Amino acid sequence: MNGDLTVRKTRTASGATGVQVVRYEGSRCVVVKHIGSARDEDGLRSLLDSAERYAEAHRRQPNLFADRPDTTAQGQLDLSQARLLGVTHPFIRRVLLACASRCHLGWLPELYLDLALMRIVEPVSKLRTLELLERYFGVRYARRTVYRLLPKLLDQQEAIETAAIQTAREDLQETFGLVLYDVTTLYFEPFKEYDLQRPGYSKDNKPQQPQVVIGLITTRSGFPVMHEVFEGNTFEGHTMLKIVRRFQERVGADKPVIVADAAMLSKDNMSQLQAQGYRYIVGARLASMPAGFIGQVHASLPRTDQAMGRFRPPEADPAVSIICAFSEARYRKDRRELDKQVKRARDLLQRNEPGRRAKFIRKSRKSGAAFEFDAALQSKSEKLLGIKGYVTNIPEEDLSASEIIAFYNDLWRVEQAFRISKSDLRTRPIFHRTQEAIRAHILVCFIALMLGKYLEIKTKRSLRQIRDELWQISEAQVRDERTGRIHILKMDTPFLRGNPISDILETQNTY
């Protein structure tokens, strides 16, 4: 009937057979519910059965010839004559695919989305991922096809990042007046160096293993919008300008305030950002400042909790200032660390074992001794106890010192995004060798991070909690040995009532 529900089969991009409940409006086919996709006859029969039941339950005019449930004893499922075919978890996949649609990624072939969502479900190697996709969801991909198509995902990087920007703007109501930038390193399991894999300063404490450097831009809420991959021996301060320019070209609005940590601080970076009209807030390396400037801060900044002051650094652009803030909690922490370092240095000198890495030990300027205690460095360090610095080119009339510090403190969100990538999504270690495969793997993880952060922001729950709750919803496939009919037994989902996840599912018609 025109306008009523019917079931159709369709071929998916991955080669599977999809089953949908549709409604025809004239010559236009409207998908009401996507039931799922299968690659074998048993799975297809099960999906068709579910689709028929859904269509029958939601038709405006019931089908007079539809099969009616037999309420006689012969028509009931006799568990003694039934066989459990398996337990699957299609619900979590439906939620994550619906989330991908909400993130404007529904156009991507399901292969790439399945690889990404498996980073959330159970992050393992690509080969193991294919095994689990079939076991958990009944979705099959040929190994050769996956490895052949994976590098082709790179052709879609610009479109994926555009989708991230669109999601942040439209659905998360983000503005790009301020963005957060940070870098991390991802190490490789093989020790052999290739194009991108180079030893460098490792944030994973793997200095001997090859690595790559990843730069990431997020919104103030921590939602990722852009990333870049650099060679493993790239100095992190040299990564910022490239990705900031690319982001600005993509956004095309007013230039955002760039917030980054002290590792991004270099005269070249600051001067280039200033010349190109960017405003920035960057962590200051106060310990490397001249003694005269440190003395000025020490003399002018009150030692009361949350005291702040704005100072003009020596030999800097007139537009640049350093905001210094004192914290009693930071003072106690710095004091404990300083006392520990001083004690270690004096103990090493007393035992005539100065050690290369001991702070406050320097080469002696007196004859007859190789090393001596650096009292000047101790005095300099004590003047900075409890003080944190922030470099900015934003004038005080535009942003107060407290606002500058509040914006800088948002950096924990991009740091949290890296923690999610490394722990929950297990982006590293990387086992790929070629540059294309490495970049494609990181792009898959970027998609997974988009989905994960979107769910976290919407539900205000951690990704691990979300994953655990969704995983509990399973389906049992039971075959009646008398009739050959496959019954799907679904768990109830009471926790969804009033849960933002239900809104995601309803929008995508995936119930």
CA 33 to chain centre: 29
Q: What is the pLDDT of residues 328-343, one digit of tens each?
A: 999 999 999 999 999 9
- Report pLDDT for 214: 85
Q: Please tell me the least confidently modeled range out of 79-83, 107-111, 159-163, 301-305.
A: 79-83
Q: What percent of the chain has pLDDT over 90?
A: 29
Separation of alpha carbons 446 and 196, rounded Å: 18
The full DSSP string for 443-506 is HHHHHHHHHHHHHHHHH-S-HHHHHHHHHT--EEEEEETTT-PEEEEE---GGGTT-HHHHHHH
Tell me the mean pLDDT in the region 418-444: 77
Separation of alpha carbons 469 and 505, rounded Å: 15
- Report pLDDT for 124: 87
β pairing state of 211-218 and 224-231? antiparallel
**pLDDT tier for residue 495 given thresholds of 50, 70 and 90:** low
Check pLDDT > 50 for residue 118: yes
Question: Which of 159-163, 170-174, 192-196, 229-233 has the largest mean confidence?
Answer: 159-163
- Report pLDDT for 298: 93
Check pLDDT > 50 for residue 163: yes
Q: What is the pLDDT of residues 392-405, one digit of tens each?
A: 999 999 989 999 99
Contact in structure between 433 and 190 (CB atoms under 8 Å): yes
Mean pLDDT of the chain: 82
Tell me the mean pLDDT in the region 465-493: 81
As a whole number of angstroms, the longest Cα–Cα distance in the chain is 107
Which of 77 and 197 is assigned the larger pLDDT? 77
Q: What is the pLDDT of residues 236-281, one digit of tens each?
A: 777 778 888 888 888 876 788 888 887 766 777 778 888 888 888 9
Helix (H, G, I), strand (E, B) or coil at 283: strand
- Report pLDDT for 379: 92
Contact in structure between 186 and 203 (CB atoms under 8 Å): no
Q: What is the pLDDT of residues 13-60, one digit of tens each?
A: 777 888 888 887 777 788 888 888 887 776 787 788 778 877 776 665
The full DSSP string for 255-274 is PPEEEE-GGG--HHHHHHHH
